[in-house]
Structure 1
């Protein structure tokens, strides 16, 4: 589904050049992928021996070795990316359920202040040094200054700090009951159109996980959780988003948490 030709960017969004948009969006989706794998590891959704240890942002990170898990996460992040390009996403959630489908935790990424991807053109694969120099030149102001350039070192440092805080928080939280599973959800802006069509990558969430909007005055009972732990606010160039984790009311009542 494509946006209307005369659609205006969200009030809180900032416009960036097409040459920067691809790199910024790819940086975020890579970061999101790393976070999802780390959440699965530190919350013991799958056995630790099914993960391999790698490095990202000069940090040790964990990645599932199971091909189907990796494929599912990759497809889910691609579906999120498609909605980010349209500018309709308010928040992204990694939701953990127990065997009875009760919400245990929601790992939240608030992207309401993301830049508008006007003129976005995807660049597949890593850029060469020459391509990076061209992109930086295009990002500079017409008077030759570099005010419009993105400080990628600062972006990577902010993302690095967020991954480290997420790992620390996930490791220290109370254990989850056995047999938990997870899914990925997006909360749309009020003006955002639902991603419907064929094939259908998204399905509506249950009412208990739907936030309030212009047609619904109250949030679902599991939105917000019983306890919220802030992770980090990222503010680096055109990237501005917040992360936190919500622990569900059902988790407080589970025997594992009471231990």
Structure 2
């Protein structure tokens, strides 16, 4: 099942390695901070908003870009929080930042994060309720042009966690490499047509129940973006795209996920049409 961002009974947890509760919460926050940085960079490099509406800051010791529009920052923050809630449930197989043509609604690009190999997050939800949630991770510390709040991405001593299972310096290095590769790809890819829009989607595991409730943060994706499932034998026509570019495999300690970008048929057709019109 594929859902878009526009809680229910717990689903079976991820099948990855079990982590002690403090490490699991810390690692999950590191990933959601990374996801927030990636979304803002995608919006910048793919020209979804004018470049002058972004601040240049630093994250993972890299220059990164963040929208300075309060409503965009709030939307990204809420979307990442909604993704985090589903990650805690162990319900998510992939996360997608989907860019549509604003007029024809064709799928231009899907920036994919495969988190099927994530570790188990049992107990994280209860801990976060006691700690009053995961904090404001979307806006970080970048509103004044400074650095993103990366407290979640390291343990402060540059070394391994106390029990030696997670080396936070290695986590930072891997996430830095992924951000760098994503930025390079976004900068070099064929420009998108004017008026494109975007959304954040999650592809759920087959055994996971759809998140419902009020207010409803998720709505079903269009049929062309629905994944293969027991009820749907064939995936939607835009799943996989017409061209796929690998970005990075992140593998450090218990953290494992893959990133890639899919360019849709609508984008390929638009690029061909634009090239023909210039000849």
In structure 2, C-alpha distance between the alignment counterparts of 1:239 and 1:257, rounded to whole Å: 42
Which residue matches 1:54?
57
Which residue matches 1:114?
118
Shift of 1:14: 1.2
Which residue matches 2:94?
91
SS in 2 for 1:203: strand
Shift of 1:102: 0.8
Q: Indicate whether 1:104 and 2:108 are aligned.
A: yes
In structure 1, C-alpha distance between the alignment counterparts of 2:95 and 2:198, rounded to whole Å: 13
Which residue matches 1:223?
239
Summarize the Cα distance change of 1:207–1:8 in structure 2 as closer, same or farther, 3 Å threshold. Answer: closer
In structure 1, C-alpha distance between the alignment counterparts of 2:63 and 2:96, rounded to whole Å: 23
Shift of 1:136: 4.0
Normalised to the residue count of structure 2, the TM-score between the two structures is 0.83
Residue in structure 2 matching 1:69, options 69, 72, 84: 72
In structure 2, C-alpha distance between the alignment counterparts of 1:252 and 1:61, rounded to whole Å: 28
Q: Deviation per CA, 1:140-174, whole angstroms, max 9, x where unpaired?
A: 2xxxxx3xx21000000000000000000000000
2:14 touches 2:121 (CA, 8 Å); kept in 1?
no
Which residue matches 1:34?
37
Superposition map of 1:166-181 within 5 A: 166-181=182-197
Unaligned runs of 5+ residues in structure 2 are 1-6, 136-150
Alpha-carbon RMSD across the aligned residues, in angstroms, is 2.2
In structure 2, C-alpha distance between the alignment counterparts of 1:226 and 1:130, rounded to whole Å: 41
In structure 2, C-alpha distance between the alignment counterparts of 1:64 and 1:18, rounded to whole Å: 33
Residue in structure 2 matching 1:196, options 200, 206, 212: 212
In structure 1, C-alpha distance between the alignment counterparts of 2:39 and 2:259, rounded to whole Å: 13
Shift of 1:10: 3.7
Which residue matches 1:15?
18
**Greater relative CO (CA pairs within 8 A, separation 6+):** 2
In structure 1, C-alpha distance between the alignment counterparts of 2:72 and 2:155, rounded to whole Å: 35
Shift of 1:3: 4.6
Which residue matches 2:168?
152
Shift of 1:19: 1.1
Q: Deviation per CA, 1:178-203, whole angstroms, max 9, x where unpaired?
A: 00010000000000110111110000
Aligned length: 245
SS in 2 for 1:30: helix
In structure 1, C-alpha distance between the alignment counterparts of 2:156 and 2:191, rounded to whole Å: 46
Normalised to the residue count of structure 1, the TM-score between the two structures is 0.89
Which residue matches 2:224?
208
